[in-house]
Structure 1
Amino acid sequence: MPHLPKARSGAVACLLLIPLLGTPALAEPQEAEAGSLPEAIADFERGRFREARAGFRAHADSGRSQFYLGRIALRRFEPYPAAEHLRKAVASAPDNADFHYWLGRAYGKLAERANIFKRAYYAGKTQEHFQRAVELEPEHLHARVALVMYDLQAPGFLGGSREAAERHTGVLFRQSPVAGLRARGLAQEQEEAFDKALATYRHAAELAPEHHRPHRWLAGLHRQLGHYERAFALYAERLARKEPDPAARVGFARTALASGTRLEEAADHLRIYIERGPLPEQPTLGEAHYLLGKVRQAQGRLHAALRAFQRSLEVAPNHPRAGAAHDAVEASLL
């Protein structure tokens, strides 16, 4: 019988579940030549983060540039610069819900890294900015789902509240049934009612067959529960569609690593993902290189693993796991 995952706990863990969180990778040794601000935004949306970063830096007096620089920093696993950029964005436009939402995400990442004394402060700031986002824009689905996650998982002294989560879930159902189902599924996961959560995500996938995220939620939970073949099948179905989901390649690789099977297929998927490059709401390039390193390590191909970890650190120098993985493989080769 597969080992069932324990319920997630803590004010920080909720941020790992945010359906956006996560994001493509960036910086190369040399910056591209800067263009106009609209050109930089277009580069960002196409996943050309190195060029976008140069463009935003050339227009650093713009609050919108600071917003995008903050999002790029999050993709680089740099929460401190991200929060600084996003604070400037919020200061430039205090009534912009998106700016508050992303600043909340940056504070969440700071909370993950903070010591016990600062964690409560950053967790409180996380909740504060998510709440401000929904006050400014009640139909901001991502911010409201983030609040549900926070309320479900944060202890009461950090503002967590099961009743508040239920209230937000009710609002989500009125705004978007699929978003409401996501919130309900998260609550069921928190209660370890995994069969109910699977049924909830299946319902969401049936309601929105053309949208990839509900199928990712379902496949991801199957993977956590050890239902590897079901997860593989869901990812394969998403990749076989007329408009495939690139993130399914990363999900397939994570499932291969969890199961210890189909590792060469996983490597092929990751190579394609890396070659094509991710878009803003897809897993980062640094994460893809890291996963490729883990696949090669699992295959015993240590030199290839080392190269993949090195590449991960080149595009995302602060990746939270690539450095340790690189050092461990390097030491084993000495």
Structure 2
Amino acid sequence: MNTKYQLSAVFLLLSISSLQISQAHEYEALIKAKKYAEVEKATSTKLSSEPNNPDALVARTELILIEGKESRLDEAVKLAEQCIAANPKNSECQEALGNTLGTKAMRGGVMSAISYVGKIRDSFKKAIELDPSNFSARSSLMQFYLQAPSFVGGGTGKAKDFIVETIKYSPAAGALLQASLDLHEENIERATSVALAVNTSNSEALAKHQRNVLSNIGHALVNDKKMTEAEKVFRELCNRFPDSSLGFYGLGKTLQEQGKAKDALPFLEKSVVIDASANALYRIGKAWQTLGDKVKAIAAYEKALSFKPELSKKIKSEVEDQLKALKS
């Protein structure tokens, strides 16, 4: 893998992690419910009386990342830096800086963003130092080690050392990081067995981590065209975490990739009921289009285009083309 690709991959993974895995704060429930206007209003009120309130500052950085406007990324960085300056012992402020810099680096291009790499890594390391139970920061730092080249502080050696360090604090968290390493090294069978063996019933933070690891494994299996194995992983996700959209979306995607649009649709729709996403709406539109229902396909595609966080540029372009064809 060339250096440019490696750096692009780590920036992408870190920016995605900022949207998928976050520490708990006062506004997390509203953000999860996608009540962004309410979060904007509530944080504005809080910051007017407490300009350096860490929960409000972190929530504002998340809103900017969700909105996805490149023009506001500098604002997000400044908010995270303000959060750190005013709350130097707050783990979430440090994590927010790592997330915002990761997104800015990805959007700005590799060569112009190499200077961010050390700051991204150090932000996650500091977040963990301040709060060893910040498992989302641990997951992000692990992805950094796995994806970044050694000359900027990455590498599997660093990842293995980090797993040993994590096990001392939490054997369960260490096992989940080991599963991520196994997946990175393409030992998917071991990654699956290790991730499934972890008992996260006493920790919602660890359960979030486990859900994400299993979801990553499932999607890797889909990419490898190992559909039977992928179905098993996603069905296990559905059974263990029926309140999470990840298993239902993954199972719907797996079935759809096998040409089973009718079978996929209920799982994709279930995922949207739990936690709507642009990608799930896009796949629902695709399923209805395959099944010949233009009206429902158009409705789903249009919702997908207006959703935040938005579709990737490639899929967005595909959806726009499909809408033109459906409406012609």
Give the structure-1-normalised TM-score. Answer: 0.76
Instruction: Show the 5 A alignment for 1:168-207.
Output: 168-192=162-186, 194=187, 197-207=188-198
SS of residue matched to 2:143: helix
Match of 1:148 among 129, 142, 157: 142
Rate the CA distance shift 1:225–1:151 in 2: closer, same or farther, 3 A. Answer: same
Alignment partner, residue 268 of structure 2: 270
Alignment partner, residue 5 of structure 1: none
CA contact (8 A) 1:145 1:179 kept: no
SS of residue matched to 2:312: coil
**Residues of 2 paired with 1:105 and 1:298: CA distance?**
37
SS of residue matched to 1:170: helix
Alignment partner, residue 320 of structure 1: 312
138-147 or 125-134: bigger deviation: 138-147
246-255 or 80-89: bigger deviation: 80-89
Letter in 1 for 2:260: R
Q: Deviations over 1:134-185 (max 9, x none)?
A: 2323443332332222122212332224332221111122222332233223
CA contact (8 A) 2:54 2:93 kept: no
Alignment partner, residue 293 of structure 1: 285
Rate the CA distance shift 1:46–1:311 in 2: closer, same or farther, 3 A. Answer: closer
Rate the CA distance shift 1:275–1:139 in 2: closer, same or farther, 3 A. Answer: closer
**Residues of 2 paired with 1:91 and 1:312: CA distance?**
38
Alignment partner, residue 110 of structure 1: 104
- The percentage of counterpart residues that share the same residue type is 20
Structure 1 residue 187 displacement after superposition? 2.7
**Residues of 2 paired with 1:201 and 1:16: CA distance?**
23
CA contact (8 A) 2:89 2:130 kept: yes
Rate the CA distance shift 1:111–1:309 in 2: closer, same or farther, 3 A. Answer: farther
2:43 is the counterpart of 1:50: no
Greater per-residue helix proportion: 2
CA contact (8 A) 1:267 1:295 kept: yes
CA contact (8 A) 1:67 1:86 kept: yes
CA RMSD of aligned residues (A): 3.3
Structure 1 residue 227 displacement after superposition? 1.7
**Residues of 2 paired with 1:159 and 1:264: CA distance?**
47
Alignment partner, residue 256 of structure 1: 255
SS of residue matched to 2:7: coil
Alignment partner, residue 11 of structure 1: 7
**Residues of 2 paired with 1:127 and 1:17: CA distance?**
13
Alignment partner, residue 330 of structure 1: 323
2:303 is the counterpart of 1:311: yes
2:93 is the counterpart of 1:99: yes
Q: Any stretches of 5+ residues in structure 1 without a counterpart?
A: 1-7, 25-36, 279-283
Rate the CA distance shift 1:84–1:315 in 2: closer, same or farther, 3 A. Answer: farther
Letter in 2 for 1:125: K
CA contact (8 A) 1:238 1:244 kept: no
**Residues of 1 paired with 2:241 and 2:184: CA distance?**
34
Letter in 2 for 1:94: P
SS of residue matched to 2:6: coil
CA contact (8 A) 2:19 2:62 kept: no
Match of 1:122 among 107, 116, 119: 116
Structure 1 residue 98 displacement after superposition? 1.4
Rate the CA distance shift 1:91–1:175 in 2: closer, same or farther, 3 A. Answer: same
Structure 1 residue 261 displacement after superposition? 2.8
Rate the CA distance shift 1:112–1:299 in 2: closer, same or farther, 3 A. Answer: farther
Rate the CA distance shift 1:308–1:45 in 2: closer, same or farther, 3 A. Answer: closer
**Residues of 2 paired with 1:162 and 1:146: CA distance?**
14
Rate the CA distance shift 1:233–1:151 in 2: closer, same or farther, 3 A. Answer: closer
**Residues of 2 paired with 1:41 and 1:244: CA distance?**
16
**Residues of 2 paired with 1:234 and 1:13: CA distance?**
24
Count residues with an aligned counterpart.
304
Structure 1 residue 104 displacement after superposition? 0.8
**Residues of 2 paired with 1:140 and 1:209: CA distance?**
15
Q: Which has the higher contact order (CA 8 A, sep 6+)?
A: 1
Instruction: Show the 5 A alignment for 1:211-290.
Output: 211=207, 213=211, 215-240=214-239, 243-257=242-256, 259-276=257-274, 278=275, 285-290=277-282
